[in-house]
């Protein structure tokens, strides 16, 4: 009898584990910065969220890594800074971050200048028990944007701008990092928005008419206002009549029961009284930069009261 030999060939094929063995869903909320006062020069913060829910399917309870990539958005980006844009396509600079301190930028594998994607790891699946993780989008409108015009700004994130990739492996230690995970892509969409609100700030310089023995001739002096308003903001500056005055040219500096009459004007010729109504107002449009406005004062010739220091307080009101 001829012996029969049986050869058994054992083969082990090592192949990547498909990520679709886990079912993942995504939900993204927008980032609304609300009203932004650029004149303050301060940053404005807001948040959104990315909620990821993954569930292991029957026979596939392997760990999964999810990579959350956010690109520049419709407003574009320059040197790692994203832009929202208004109707005139003017930018308002902002960014997204992975941490509440706004130190670690949130970007994508394909646009690393914006930062790295956020990585989420799911493991320990139980059949029929989904796992949910929430990543907070920490947004910030960057400071020192006083030149931004008033109005709404938006940037839309959709399609390739928001891509969530995932992969699985036999163990957590074997999961690839987010720079290597390119497949199993899910897209989402959301919007970043802000509204730059009109604002004005004003500071005043005192007017000192100096020392005089008698008031037999007119005495002139000048002070000034520094007005800063958001670009495109129309404003009007009013000066009240002081503590006891009756008109823009009949204000009164007082000492005890005595007074020195004086007036305030918009022009060096002292022909345009500066008051608090109608044509007495000074009007202009803000640029985001400080606009210096002179205030011209005149003490007309009048009977000289008793010696002393005479003062008055005038309230400056900027309406916009």
Tens digit of pLDDT for each residue in 193-249?
999 999 999 999 999 999 999 999 999 999 999 999 999 999 999 999 999 999 999
In angstroms, what CA-CA distances link 90 with 150, 190, 287? Answer: 11, 21, 14
Q: Is the pLDDT of residue 7 over 70?
A: no
CA distance 154 to 32: 9
Confidence category of residue 43, pLDDT binned at 50, 70, 90: very high
| Residue 107, pLDDT score | 98
Give the single-character DSSP code of 17.
P
79: Cβ–Cβ under 8 A, 6 or more apart, which residues?
113
Instruction: Measure CA of the first residue to CA of the last residue in the chain; give whole Å.
Output: 112
Confidence category of residue 21, pLDDT binned at 50, 70, 90: low
Q: Is the pLDDT of residue 13 over 70?
A: no
User: Which DSSP string do the residues of 106-157 spell out, in sequence order?
Assistant: B--SS-GGG-BPEEEEE---BTTB-EEEEEEEEEEEPS--TTPPSEEEEEEE
Same CATH fold, 200-319 and 19-196?
yes
Bridging pattern class, strands 316-319 and 151-157: unpaired
- C-alpha neighbours within 13 Å on the C-beta side of residue 234: 2
Q: Is the separation of the CB atoms in 30 and 189 below 8 Å? A: no
CA distance 184 to 153: 33
Q: Is the pLDDT of residue 5 over 80?
A: no
41: Cβ–Cβ under 8 A, 6 or more apart, which residues?
143, 144, 146
Confidence category of residue 159, pLDDT binned at 50, 70, 90: confident
Q: Is the pLDDT of residue 1 over 70?
A: no
CA distance 273 to 247: 9
Lowest mean pLDDT segment, chosen from 16-30, 93-107, 123-137, 273-287? 16-30
Order of strands, edge to edge, in the sheet holding 200-205? 200-205, 219-229, 290-299, 258-265, 251-255
Q: Is the pLDDT of residue 177 over 80?
A: yes
Tell me the CATH number of domain 19-196, given options 3.40.640.10, 2.60.40.1090, 1.10.10.60, 2.40.50.40. 2.60.40.1090
Please give the mean pLDDT across all residues of the chain: 92
Q: Is the pTM for the entire model greater than 0.85?
A: no
| Residue 61, pLDDT score | 78
pLDDT above 90 covers what percent of the chain? 85
According to CATH, what is the number of the domain 200-319?
2.60.40.1090
CA distance 194 to 44: 10
- Average pLDDT (140-155) is 98
Q: Is the pLDDT of residue 59 over 70?
A: no
305: Cβ–Cβ under 8 A, 6 or more apart, which residues?
255, 258, 259, 260
- Average pLDDT (5-9) is 28
- Average pLDDT (87-93) is 98
Domain boundaries, the chain: 19-196, 200-319
């Amino acid at each position: 009898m001829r012996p029969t030999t049986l050869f058994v060939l054992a083969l082990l094929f090592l192949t990547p584990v498909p990520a679709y063995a886990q079912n993942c869903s995504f939900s993204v909320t927008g980032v609304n910065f609300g009203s932004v006062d650029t004149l303050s020069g301060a940053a404005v913060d807001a948040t959104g969220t990315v909620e990821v829910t993954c569930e292991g399917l029957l026979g596939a309870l392997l760990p999964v890594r999810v990579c959350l990539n956010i690109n520049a958005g419709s407003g574009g980006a320059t040197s790692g800074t994203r832009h929202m844009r208004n109707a005139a396509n003017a930018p308002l600079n902002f960014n997204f971050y992975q941490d509440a301190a706004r130190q670690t930028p949130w970007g994508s594998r394909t646009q690393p200048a914006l930062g790295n994607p956020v990585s989420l790891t799911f493991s320990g699946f139980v059949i029929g028990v989904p796992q949910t993780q929430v990543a907070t989008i920490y947004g910030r409108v960057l400071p020192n944007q006083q030149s931004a015009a008033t109005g709404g700004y938006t940037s839309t994130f959709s399609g390739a701008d928001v891509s969530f990739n995932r992969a699985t492996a036999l163990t957590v230690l074997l999961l690839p990092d987010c720079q290597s995970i390119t497949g199993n892509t899910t897209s989402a969409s959301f919007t970043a928005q802000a509204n730059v609100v009109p604002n004005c700030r004003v500071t005043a310089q005192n007017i000192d008419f100096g020392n005089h023995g008698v008031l037999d001739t007119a005495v002139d002096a000048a002070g000034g206002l520094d007005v800063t308003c958001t670009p495109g903001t129309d404003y009007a500056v009013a000066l009240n009549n002081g503590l006891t005055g009756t008109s823009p040219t009949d204000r009164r500096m007082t000492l005890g029961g005595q007074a020195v009459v004086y007036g305030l004007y918009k022009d060096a010729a002292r022909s345009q009284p500066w008051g608090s109504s109608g044509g007495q107002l000074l009007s202009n449009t803000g640029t985001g930069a400080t606009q210096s406005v002179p205030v011209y004062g005149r003490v007309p010739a009048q009977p000289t009261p008793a010696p002393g220091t005479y003062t008055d307080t005038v309230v400056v009101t900027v309406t916009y």
